[in-house]
Amino acid sequence: MNHTCDKIAWQSVVPEHWQVLKLRQILSPVSEKNHPDLPLLSVVREKGVIVRNIEDKEENHNYVPDDLSGYKLVKIGQFAMNKMKAWQGSYGVSRFDGIVSPAYFVFDIQCDINKDFFNRAIRSVVYVNYFGQASDGIRVGQWDLSIQRMKEIPFIYSLKRMIRSNSKARQKLFAVHMDSSVQSFLMAMRIGSGSLFSSIF
């Protein structure tokens, strides 16, 4: 198997039909406001982006102002992130149109990549650890994400399999498969071994 080399330390072996990008090449920050009538969204560790239940007192502990014109718009397919809890995995691709706190980050996904795959992969344990490394603790339970360090987080995906997975059904199955495979691949490279990848792909 032929491989390309990359300067990122843990990527000692990257198969040539895989592409290695930095998040700055995938995510483009956006900030659109003045949509106070749209549903409130939350970005949580367990599920990513969800519609916020403002009636459930147990679910909501944050103050919601009367004027929501300063809240940021999130569109279906955009990537939203709670920057104070990114180290826990509180981010994801939205399946809803809505608004989030102005303190959150919102991004367009600007490259041609299956968004279901991107969401599953970026929310995997391996990538959550990278967001932790890009965050600085400011108080118990809250770490502030450095946007500059976040931009340098590497993301990998298979060009060959992306091209072949042209139907929505096949893309969904591919994303489910890749959710575990990416973790295995990255962990193998972290310990300096690419042999596991050969057996999977």
pLDDT single digits (tens) 134-166: 888 766 556 888 889 999 998 887 655 544 444
Distance of alpha carbon 122 from alpha carbon 144, whole angstroms: 18
- For tokens 């569109």, what's the residue? 75
pLDDT single digits (tens) 33-62: 999 999 999 999 889 999 988 666 555 556
The answer to pTM > 0.85 is no
Distance of alpha carbon 144 from alpha carbon 31, whole angstroms: 19
pLDDT single digits (tens) 79-124: 999 988 888 889 999 999 999 999 999 999 988 888 988 998 899 8
What phi and psi, each to the nearest 5 degrees, are found at residue 124? Answer: -75, 165
- For tokens 């969904």, what's the residue? 172
Contact 192, 12 (CB under 8 A): yes
Which fold, 3-57+70-200? Adenine-n6-DNA-methyltransferase TaqI; Chain A, domain 2 (3.90.220)
Radius of gyration of the chain from Cα atoms? 18
Which residues, other chains included, contact 119 with Cβ-Cβ below 8 Å and sequence gap of 6+? Answer: 48, 92, 93, 175
Distance of alpha carbon 165 from alpha carbon 113, whole angstroms: 11
Contact 21, 159 (CB under 8 A): no
Listed by start position, the domains of the chain span 3-57+70-200
3-state helix, strand, coil in the chain (%, to 5): 30, 25, 40
